[in-house]
Structure 1
């Protein structure tokens, strides 16, 4: 049996008692080999450390479930169905025109109610009445101008929302919540900012959900790492290298990323892809010179 194969079998405790004793005797004679083996055992010990069990606070879970339930209610669906109507380009001008017509009708349409009935008058009185009527009409016209001026003064108060600011769209104020631990293909849910909770409570809830999402992502990365080590232990170095490569690409902030890179390089070398392993070793040499040195000694032995 080659020394390299004995090394692997010794690390995973697969040697017989006689072979184990002979290999330990060899370690006593070769100090460099013993140093490399100790460094590799330290690496395996780090990769075998598991993350603490994920415990989701019950209060946080209930809050998230309540928010999800609101988005499946009939009132929320009705609001989402009618929201494009309020966002239409024609809605606000049409509503403004309707209010303007209503004001004009209220002012001018009921003017006859303000007029007092007149009795028959003499020609002299008729002349005076004509003058009074003209004066009254002038007052009406001035009143129309006053109403129109007041209307024009009020318009600039809401330049971006028309006459009804209460219909302002709040969709841009809705924060997005991502839950990787729910396992659903549509993991994004909107939480409305006008559901009765204060902004401080919503910010706190968002921070707790983000922390939950990070913990869940680390747990998934840990599961992938353990799966790759299982494939390697059964002799599937190609599958382990692919699994580790997927782990490195999809989880760049995984705490044991450097160790996963070292194990992927060793799997590539064991599976016969020596050129690819040496090429990727350049990247590992910049991140962790000690691990790259352990790999080079292992390959050269």
Structure 2
């Protein structure tokens, strides 16, 4: 049993290492604007978008801040592998920054490897220079809802099934994904064009170490908005994460109570912000568990059917 577990960890390590290397080499198929003009709901002065230097002791991550021009960066899989499914990716960063490579480009590379179009959403981070630090994440939800509508409007052009468009988020991006999944019936901005007639509901959602859902009295807590209309969800968290795994546990409980299909993995170790990068921790196996879930839920074909 121990040998089997060790082999699984080694394979996951090699897979994650391959995904990271692939992300460094991949070029996006296309990048397009989320909004036809200026993004709505801006508050305060916004400086130029830029990458923040890592602080001493921090891992090497491309940290993007001051986003004022939301975009969708599209990575298409090999046509021979393409399953027709797509995922909008929401990098984390505490609503301060976006972990652009760790929780964006590298995730798109993994999705491409299983035949899924990966679309990295550059959404606005409300906690930035010139804005109140306690500002609610209203702009990110606007960007997420619009992004899903834009992708759905491009389904025919991109060869995507409009009924297999999901969303995947990490940390604050996990909170944003949960909000988009549970509040899709709310109009968070004035309708701008024909694209806004599309549905803003993701067909499935993947939350990896999400935060912000342990605030029971917060009316914006996505858990408070869970109904039977929420999409199926996959959740992954580390038990030793400083962002409590109860964020994921409580969401899972709410989904089950509402009769929504869900799968939860709480790994013993891994901390916070592990993304897909290789480690000896069992949390590195979450992409494989997620792939299995996507196949079981029929969002992508079973492995033997995909060959």
Please classify the TM superposition score into its range, dividing by the shorter chain length: under 0.3
Compute the TM-score of the two structures, normalised by the length of structure 2: 0.21
More helix by share: 1
TM-score in terms of structure 1 length: 0.21
